[in-house]
Structure 1
Amino acid sequence: MAHGRITKRAVDALKCPEGKDRDFLWDDALAGFGVAVFPTGKKVYVAQYRQHGRSRRSTIGEHGRLTPDEARSQAKQLLGAVEKGADPIEERRAARAVRTFAEVAEDFLSSHVDTKRKTRTAEEYRALYRSHVEPAIGSKRVLDLRRADVKRLHDKLGETPYQANRALAFVSAVWNWVAKSDEVALTDNPATGIERYEEKKRERFLTSEELSRLGAALAEGETVGLVYQVDESKPKAKHAPKAENRRVKLDPYAVAAIRLLILTGARLREVLDAQWSQVDLERGILFLEDSKTGRKPVYLSAAAQEVLAALPRIEGNPHIIAGHGPRKKPAAEKGAKGSDKVLGSPRADLKKPWAAICRAAALDGLRLHDLRHSFASIGAGASLGLPIIGKLLGHSQAATTARYAHLDADPMRRAVETIGATIAAAMDGKPGGNVVRLKNSGG
């Protein structure tokens, strides 16, 4: 163990004696400042001091990354802080214990979202987190996360405003959740103050002519089948059926699901997950045990009931819209043709049949959710009243239904016709021109 002025030349010349695991050179100008050398040749600056009756040593940095002067300056700061009562080693230990945003987010998803949110909501949270949030800020310590970091994430998703705003909301929700355990300060939420992007609601309502095309495509798909296209440039195109024979029939359960969506205004998963046991045909109601807004009755019109009546029930499958899924064959079924498949689960989605229907009906860009909007728009246009429409859709908030208020044109039309006819009759001197006389205020 040597003493002397720690300079670049002295440190470069320092070697670890054979047989020792390390050796030190201590600075003779700054007590407690030294450099350790190891058999590998690695050299590390350190600061040594006594605290709470114990000798303690704290690493400052590696030689090469720090010059002797830079290391001496940091050692002065550290030793000065110790004199004032600080505990650098404990502070570093505490700093290492701070969780990353990814660790906190995973805890939030498993402890909060999985237990208090619906399964599909939890899946959406995870997809958003894995795709966008984790790659951007997951590795940062939660205490080091700044508004600038979150804003960069938000800006990066600017071309998809909905996703950008959802990512921002996710970060905010994680922060507010972990703040309840005092791991961070609630007031330091890095998502606060970042302006959200304007989200343009995509609301498309089918016209009578479009509904006619949709109905024709559904009928064609379940009877003779829909025409499908073949890429003639592909090598196997020559083996494809002739153009007039290129048709494929749609799954009757997929067609029924689409019809139920437009006839009930229900959400996609509400229809796909519905079970026969929930249907009360006598009262014309489908009672859903769970939905986006909790327990919900879906009212079935005569047309919707006809769709249900035409659907065959599959033994062993409780779902109205039956799907396909593998299962283990009971011993009694082994060897039976087609017994390796079971329809015990609901249909997973309607992506392929819906795409085929939209092509056949020339309804480019129409979403399945637009069928729900169309259901509501027809009700609003018929002046059924927003409260009734809200109940049919299962809205928990009246404000959600208010988006259809501008479609309720009939009352306004009747009102303006009544007023206009009365005024015109009065001006023409015809009977029925009952104009209310105003009192003369003397003005």
Structure 2
Amino acid sequence: MAYIRKRGRNSYLIAVYLGRDSKGKRRWHYETFYGTEKQAEHRKAELEVKYRRPSGPRTAAMTMGEYLERWLDNTEGTVAESTLETYALHVRHLTAAVGEMPLYGLTGFDLKTRLKDYFREYVKTRPLSPATIKGIYGTFRTALRQAKADGVIADDLAASLKAPRVPHKERRVLTPEELVRLLEAAKGYKHYLVIRLLALTGMRLGEVLGLRWQDVDLERGVLTVRQSVNVRRRKPNDRPKTEASVRQLALDQETVTLLAAHRREQEKNRVVALQGLVFSATDGRPLREMAVRRTFWRVLKRARLAHIRVHDLRHTAGSILLDTGVPLATVAAFLG
């Protein structure tokens, strides 16, 4: 909305309505123009294009923090629970950085500047990895794209946000000889069978902890990955990470023998596991991820191997297959 008012000879006042600020107060852009009435009309049109915004008064009064909270609420049920938890962690940082900024008049430059300043100060006192910062930028772009699609903002602000570059970190994988040492050192530990499955099948930790007896065929020596576990909440997910994650994996005879012995032990001790889980804690729920990780760290030390992550066992399995000549597509399907 805009209007022109004649002020004098060849002088016009152009007013363009900007919407409402964070307190709901109306805002206008005023400009005095010198020229003919027709030229003033052209200038008014230019200003309307410059300040055009499709959102209404209530949207104009919304802050970025308010929008992010609404976006988070609307996202619930559309993504995996673990993804929603990650979004919530990221939104806390975003709210601290840009939460008080009104949606009206936002530019990509403003957002980039505020985010850069926030993270520069934050990391001076608390650790925050470049990968985490990159993830926060990714979440913000997702939210901004939704805001654009919903008509909450007029411009595609997500396009201007470029996450800081994450330095490439070469992840170490075990050689076949080191893998043998690891498995030998793991024998006798409570979570040996979990570590063995992680190392030989390339399964994700959540997939191993979510494995059910109904998905294990001991006679055929095959297991089927059908679900995983939210390792933070110790809660089974009703589906794996991706559609490609549903897959069958062949087991070696020693692992089949160990699984059969583990099942007999469960039955002997009358363990009642949630959903018939292969691995469960005393309360029947999935094992605590930190219990597995601590065991893994002890095994590495005992085997005199350099520190690697549990997830690096997955990369190890894939790397060994590739080194033996297995096609990349086959390895990708194997890892899911």
**Structure 2 length as normaliser, TM-score?**
0.68
Matched, 1:272 2:209: yes
CA distance in 1, matches of 2:129, 2:157: 26
Counterpart of 1:212 (choices 180, 186, 201) is 180
Query: Are residues 149 and 377 of structure 1, via their aligned partners in 2, closer, same or farther at CA, if it must alter by over 3 Å?
Result: same
Counterpart of 1:257 (choices 174, 191, 194) is 194
Matched, 1:203 2:171: yes
Which stretch of the first structure deviates more once superposed, 255-264 or 355-364? 355-364
CA distance in 1, matches of 2:298, 2:96: 36
Counterpart of 1:133 (choices 86, 94, 102) is 94
Query: Are residues 210 and 296 of structure 1, via their aligned partners in 2, closer, same or farther at CA, if it must alter by over 3 Å?
Result: same
Quote how far apart the aligned CAs of 1:111 are: 1.2
Counterpart of 2:64 (choices 87, 92, 101) is 101
Query: Are residues 172 and 96 of structure 1, via their aligned partners in 2, closer, same or farther at CA, if it must alter by over 3 Å?
Result: closer
Mapped contact 2:60–2:102 kept (Cα < 8 A): no
Matched, 1:286 2:251: no
CA distance in 2, matches of 1:362, 1:182: 58
Matched, 1:299 2:256: no
Which stretch of the first structure deviates more once superposed, 85-94 or 145-154? 85-94
Query: Are residues 143 and 202 of structure 1, via their aligned partners in 2, closer, same or farther at CA, if it must alter by over 3 Å?
Result: farther
Counterpart of 1:178 (choices 107, 130, 147) is 147
CA distance in 2, matches of 1:85, 1:166: 39
CA distance in 2, matches of 1:126, 1:98: 23
- Which amino acid in 1 is paired with 2:278? I
Secondary structure in structure 2 of the residue aligned to 1:389 = helix
Mapped contact 1:261–1:271 kept (Cα < 8 A): yes
Mapped contact 2:293–2:310 kept (Cα < 8 A): no
User: Who is 1:162 aligned against?
Assistant: 131
Structure 2: unaligned runs, 5 residues or longer: 1-11, 28-55, 228-238
Quote how far apart the aligned CAs of 1:378 are: 0.9
**Count of paired positions:** 262
CA distance in 1, matches of 2:299, 2:162: 41
The structure, 1 or 2, with the larger RCO (C-alpha pairs under 8 Å, 6+ apart) is 2
- Which amino acid in 2 is paired with 1:285? L
Counterpart of 1:375 (choices 291, 314, 317) is 317
Q: CA RMSD in A?
A: 3.0
Counterpart of 1:91 (choices 26, 47, 51) is 26
Quote how far apart the aligned CAs of 1:84 are: 5.6
Matched, 1:324 2:266: no
Mapped contact 1:217–1:361 kept (Cα < 8 A): yes
**Structure 1 length as normaliser, TM-score?**
0.53
Query: Are residues 257 and 204 of structure 1, via their aligned partners in 2, closer, same or farther at CA, if it must alter by over 3 Å?
Result: same
CA distance in 2, matches of 1:361, 1:164: 35
Structure 1: unaligned runs, 5 residues or longer: 1-79, 223-249, 326-342, 395-443
Query: Are residues 357 and 176 of structure 1, via their aligned partners in 2, closer, same or farther at CA, if it must alter by over 3 Å?
Result: same
Quote how far apart the aligned CAs of 1:157 are: 7.1
Mapped contact 1:205–1:371 kept (Cα < 8 A): yes
- Which amino acid in 1 is paired with 2:240? S
Mapped contact 1:175–1:186 kept (Cα < 8 A): no
User: Who is 1:361 aligned against?
Assistant: 303
CA distance in 2, matches of 1:108, 1:85: 30
- Which amino acid in 2 is paired with 1:103? E
Query: Are residues 309 and 381 of structure 1, via their aligned partners in 2, closer, same or farther at CA, if it must alter by over 3 Å?
Result: same
